[in-house]
Amino acid sequence: MGEPVSRWMIQLSMRTTGIWRIVEQPSVELDRRRYQPDALVEVRGPDGKKSVLVIEYKNQLQPKDVSRVAEQLRTYAEAVGERAAPLFISPFITQRTRESLSEADISFADKTGNVRIVLSRPGLFVQTQGASSDPNRESRSAKSLKGAKAGRLVRALCDFRPPLGIRELGERTGVDAGYVSRVVSFLETEAYLEREPRGPIVSVSWRKLLERWTKDFSFQKSNEIQAYLEPRDVAKVPERITAAAAAAVTGSAAAAVAPVAPTRMVMAYVADPEAVAKKIGLRRTESGANVLLAKPFDSVVFERTQEIGGVRYAALTQVAADLMRSPGRGPEEAEALLDWMENKEQSWRT
């Protein structure tokens, strides 16, 4: 057992008051060669039932490498026996990597306290929250998807079907190839997309990418918002906005393909909110608003729109992102819309 694993297990043993017992690490026979997991740890429950955690330790693990490590751990566990369960440990595990490990059904733990261990026999579920960023990471600019250029790239990656080349993405978004390459490398490392070596992007996890984007983007914080009251019929406001100016209706009113409840709040992008509000007779308000007009963070909100029944709607990817961090039912409506989009991808993705 390596020294980092030993230190980690001693700390865990202290936390769990003797439930865990460190077992001497044996070799396991795989494909006529001898391999060793980094440690085997026996878990004994109050009823005497036992499981063995098969541990793999690495100083770091990138999301794109999770599937390979998960397969390696499962192979080790199969060799150890039916009571074995895989566990990955590291000094620090990023949120995206933790999500990928959970999806792969691999338990994990880091020394900052990010722990998720699931055993069926004995029944055990341990989950704790640790640091959100690596305390030992060298100071450098944080990776993010903030800003107009990043927003244009996210929209393009989600709206267009692969394959997509770096130069093609740059031409479609008006973003220089160097910036495109840096963002794509970041997203590849975080397992939001897959790319051929020195070649095009071949797949994009567009739903997860939209969810990641909304950590840096939100309708109300990333745009210039003005709030208004329509005292009569709010359901007619989208059509009136479209008739008054170039617009892209978003939010609940644009999620009609997967409605959760009747629309009570209209959200729309327009170049000049004050002029549009004056033209269609909206009243400015500080409270009780049912119309939000946004001067957009970027013109991409007006791209790949669609007109239905006299209303110009934003692209579904933009609508979903705008709903995710909206107040009230917004997140619930976003989930319903994203589910619909997954089932109907051929109908909206260019």
pLDDT of residue 6: 57
Alpha-carbon span 66 to 101, nearest angstrom: 6
Burial class (CB in 10 A: 0-12, 13-18, 19+), 134: middle
- Tokens linked to 311: 């209303």
**Selection from 210, 207, 208, 99 nearest residue 150 by Cα:** 210
Q: Does domain 3-128 have CATH number 1.10.4080.10?
A: no
Phi and psi, residue 173, nearest 5°: -105, -15
**Selection from 260, 134, 142, 159 nearest residue 209 by Cα:** 159
Residues 6+ positions from 153 with CB-CB distance below 8 Å: 169, 173, 175, 180, 183, 184
* Residues listed for the chain: 350
Q: Are the C-beta atoms of residues 319 and 332 closer than 8 Å to each other? A: no
pLDDT of residue 139: 44
Q: Which sequence spans correspond to the domains of the chain?
A: 3-128, 148-213, 219-335
DSSP run (H or E) holding 34: strand 33-35
Q: How far apart are the first and last CA of the chain?
A: 52
pLDDT of residue 227: 96
Q: Are the C-beta atoms of residues 47 and 122 closer than 8 Å to each other? A: yes
Please name the amino acid found at residue 33. Answer: R
HEC letters along 197-249: CCCCEEEECHHHHHHHHCCCCCHHHHCEEEEEECCCCHHHHHHHHHHHCCEEE
Q: Are the C-beta atoms of residues 254 and 315 closer than 8 Å to each other? A: no
Residues 6+ positions from 113 with CB-CB distance below 8 Å: 128, 129, 130, 131
DSSP run (H or E) holding 338: helix 330-343
pLDDT of residue 14: 47
pLDDT of residue 18: 53
Alpha-carbon span 92 to 61, nearest angstrom: 9
Q: Are the C-beta atoms of residues 312 and 177 closer than 8 Å to each other? A: no
Q: Helix or strand or coil: residue 134?
A: coil
HEC letters along 158-206: HHCCCCECHHHHHHHHCCCHHHHHHHHHHHHHCCCEEECCCCCEEEECH
CATH number for 148-213 (one of 3.40.190.10, 1.10.10.10, 2.30.40.10, 3.50.50.60): it is 1.10.10.10
Per-residue pLDDT of the chain (350 residues; tens, 9 = 90+): 455 565 555 555 545 555 555 555 565 665 555 557 788 888 877 777 888 888 888 888 989 899 999 998 998 888 888 788 999 999 999 999 999 999 999 999 998 999 999 988 777 888 899 988 888 765 444 478 999 999 999 999 999 999 999 999 999 999 999 999 999 999 999 999 999 988 999 999 999 999 999 999 999 999 999 999 998 889 999 999 999 999 999 999 998 777 777 788 999 999 999 999 999 999 999 889 999 999 999 999 999 999 999 999 999 999 999 999 998 889 999 999 999 999 999 999 98
Q: Do domains 3-128 and 148-213 have the same CATH topology?
A: no
Q: What sign has the CA pseudo-torsion 168, 170, 176, 178?
A: negative
- pTM summary value: 0.73
Q: Helix or strand or coil: residue 300?
A: helix
Alpha-carbon span 57 to 55, nearest angstrom: 6
